[in-house]
Structure 1
Amino acid sequence: MSITLADARIVTPEGVHEGWLTIEDGRITHIGQGSAPGPGLGLGGRYVVPGFVDMHTHGGAGGSFPTGDPDEASRVADLHARHGTTTIVASLVTASQNALSRATSALADLCDDGVLAGIHFEGPYISKARCGAHNPAFLREPSSQEFAELLKAGRGHVRMLTIAAELPGALDTIREAVANGVIAALGHSDASYEQTIQGIDAGGSVATHLYNAMPSLHHREPGPVAALLEDERVTIELVNDGVHVHPAMLRLAYDVAGPGRTALITDAMAAAGMGDGVYGLGPMKVNVVDGVARLAGGDSIAGSTLTMDVAFRRAVQQLGLSLTEAAEVTSLTPARALGLADRLGSVSVGKQADLVVLTDGLEVSGVMRHGNWITEPR
């Protein structure tokens, strides 16, 4: 089946083009400027950007990936897809080994079905001093045997592991993860600058939500933030929700890392797409007030209620990124970090037709995944 989208402003890595594109068998086959050569679906000058790639998501629509419930997980993926996220990684939180293994096995089935793009373990190998909304009772030192069991449960779908580089055995676990095709992400860490560099040298290639759950920048003790920002081997995750990080610090990180190393994430939990109330995040309870999620009984931020379309819009309207730059940090850079950029992450000939149609105000008008409309343009 062939589909032509006409009268569009198409956001590609090379710039914004007024024209048309053609899709066949779920892939982009042609991109042209000006009038389409034949009949097509006219978009009235709306923008077409690549489908968003969220490499760090816990939940939404009242559901949560850490429960391992397939219906909840599908509901989460559907909510984020309607907000433009066509590729999503399911992030788990610190829990017992049995709970992690059960959830991993269940989510691996959804990876087999193409609903999810992989599984991310955010914990349990993280710092007690920087654990945030993770249950400290389940934190533990890295274990090769335990990690091997989780890899087995994931059946090749474990995509990323967040780990604190300063923990005993962490460097060996980072090497083991990378050797098994798993991204080692450094975060929830109390590491020094030097320890963080050791983690990067061992294979760490992602900074889990930079700034959050790690020591702040200091002129005599630069800590992990400086080490992660300055190393060109590292992709920087940032939560652009107006709560996790001040806009000035977002701009600072972006100015250093640039669009090629900056990946916006949601870190969303169950309340995304929902109202205020009490929600679960793994074994922890979270209060959401005015859209801000905090751990019950404390001040720790516990994920977000963000969706990627909002992160994209904020990047343009508040951080001053161009549309091409915003598309890169919400699609191409995370796709590259996940090893998926050969087939998705940009509006390019030969790639999957994962597309988001946006209005002049950058609101979602339509979403396409693999050449099929999830929501048709309106």
Structure 2
Amino acid sequence: MEEQKTIEGLHYRTQRPIRINLDQGVIRSIEELKECFTPYILAPGLVDLQVNGFQGVDFNEPELEVSDVVFSVQKLWENGMTTFMPTLITASESAVSESIKIIIEACKDTLINATVTGIHLEGPFISRETGPRGAHPLEFVCEPDWDMVVRLQEVAKGKIKLITLSPEYEGAPELIEKCVGQGIQVAIGHTAAHSAQIKHAVEVGASLSTHLGNAAHLLLPRHPNYIWDQLAMDSLWTSIVSDGFHLPDPVMKVFMKTKPENTFLVSDSTKFAGLPAGTYQSPIGGTVLLTKEGRLCMQENPELLAGSAASLKSCLEYLVKANLATWSQAIDMASVKPLSYLTQKSSSIGLQAGNNADLILFEHKDSKMEIKKTLKAGKLVYSSL
């Protein structure tokens, strides 16, 4: 991969021409230019904390190979992704362990290791109830088990960085405290927990709502309910899937207005992202249907989604197309804000001297983002120019 020394473009927020000077994978300085000979826009690389798979690769499949992980990372680079979390859903401990081993083997490559910022375990400590459980297999759902986390973290060589669980179990608060104490962030998701359980989970360290508004009962009481409870918790960050199917536009607008600084995008993408419409077999939901419009659902219960067939880039594009965000706001929600959540920093993320040189150069036509270059740690990992 070729290391870049400089890159020029229009700043994604100001639209002013800039030159970014790079050294050893870090932004050393940013200069404002009087003129710029490129029409392309410079922005931070995209960050997705929930990627189950991409373009034919599923991180949950038992046939997963190192070459599959490498291929998926390359395809994500093409889509402007510079940081992501492979996400493993509810399965047997042995199956999750095998997937982790393959991912860690792929991370022996320095650039892939830098791109895979951590592993997200979405389950198995989730609700057993239909609706909140989503497409996760019931047979492997279990109560919080710290010993299991320790065993999996040993296999992952410390790379498990996020766990989504339901605080409806008696042992959830203790597990949350232990995870946070070991540097693992904890999200509430796939839950049927009541108000007091959610409040307690936040008090002991839960810090995020995973794809809020999804993985829920089809019918809920007006109030109280676990969506309102999480939205009202000021210290909880919110992740949303803005693919046009997971949440109606008014719901996303309310979430974003309620927590304007602490809401970010995830794709929840599966291996079907980028594949043609049809019926497929998946570890997430069994037999699933991908419609020509791009909606991915369980064939036996089409009201229930089976993850997403969208990239983070297309989720970002949807926000712009739906007039829910400007380009710069949508980009921040897909880059700066998830990194702010991960690092618990807000002032040193994005296009600033001293930060990692994780950058994209792109052109937008109407509501579409065309990636021209992707730089990871200052190295050119994708170019269409």
Deviations 1:18-38 (A, max 9, x none): 3322222222222122237xx
Alignment of 1:50 onto 2:44: yes
The AA in structure 1 aligned to 2:38 is: G
Alignment of 1:249-264 (within 5 A): 249-258=251-260, 260-264=261-265
Displacement of 1:283: 7.6
List, as ranges, runs of 4+ consecutive aligned residues in structure 1 with deviation greater than 4 Å: 215-220, 340-345
Distance in 1 separating the partners of 2:20 and 2:59: 35
Show CA shifts across 1:150-176 (max 9, x none). Answer: 121111100111100112311111111
Cα drift, residue 345 of structure 1: 4.9
CA RMSD of aligned residues (A): 2.3
Match among 354, 367, 373 for residue 374 of structure 2: 367
| Number of the residue aligned with 1:143 | 145
Residue by residue over 1:193-213, the C-alpha shift from the partner in whole angstroms, topping out at 9 and shown as x without a partner, is 222111111211011100001
**Structure 2 CA distance for partners of 1:57 and 1:297, relative to 1, 3 Å:** same
Aligned residue number for residue 67 of structure 2: 71
Map of 2:94 onto structure 1: 98
Displacement of 1:63 in angstroms is 0.6
Q: 1:343 to 1:302 in 2, by over 3 A?
A: farther
2:84 aligned to which of 81, 88, 103: 88
* CA spacing shift, 1:296–1:74, aligned 2, 3 Å: farther
Does structure 2 retain, via aligned residues, the 8 Å contact 1:134–1:284? no
1:17 alignment partner AA: R
Superposed displacement of residue 279, structure 1: 3.9
Question: Quick one: distance in 1 between partners of 2:346 and 2:106?
Answer: 22
Other structure's SS at 2:343 match: coil
Q: Does residue 120 of the first structure (1) align with residue 120 of the second (2)? A: yes
Aligned AA (1:316): V
Any conservation in 1 of the 2:285–2:306 contact (CA below 8 Å)? no
2:283 maps to which residue? 281
Kindly tell me the number of residue pairs found equivalent between the two proteins. Answer: 369
Give the TM-score normalised by the residue count of structure 2: 0.89
Kindly indicate whether residue 192 of structure 2 is the aligned counterpart of residue 179 of structure 1: no
Letter in 2 for 1:294: C
Are 2:284 and 2:306, in contact at CA under 8 Å, matched by a contact in 1?
A: no
- Give the Cα separation in 2 of the matches to 1:342 and 1:372: 25
CA shift digits 1:209-242 (9 cap, x unpaired): 0000135796752322222222222111100000
Query: 1:217, 1:28 → 2: CA distance?
Result: 49
Gaps of 5+ in 1: 37-41
C-alpha contact (below 8 Å) 1:308/1:330 kept by paired residues: yes
Give the SS at the match of 2:289. strand
- Return 5+ residue gaps in structure 2 as ranges: none
What is the letter of the counterpart of residue 359 of structure 1? E
Deviations 1:273-309 (A, max 9, x none): 2212314235833222222211232222111111122
TM-superposed deviation, 1:340: 7.8
Cα pair 1:367 1:377 within 8 Å, conserved: no
Q: 1:111 to 1:262 in 2, by over 3 A?
A: farther
2:318 aligned with 1:314, yes or no? yes
Equivalent residue of 1:363, what SS? strand
Instruction: Show the 5 A alignment for 1:35-46.
Output: 35=34, 44-46=38-40
Deviation at 1:123, TM superposition (A): 0.7
Residue in 2 that maps onto 1:39: none
> Partners in 1 of 2:345 and 2:163 — Cα distance?
20
Q: Is 1:238 equivalent to 2:240 in the alignment?
A: yes
After superposition, the Cα gap between the structure-2 partners of 1:352 and 1:192, relative to the gap in structure 1 and judged at 3 Å, is same
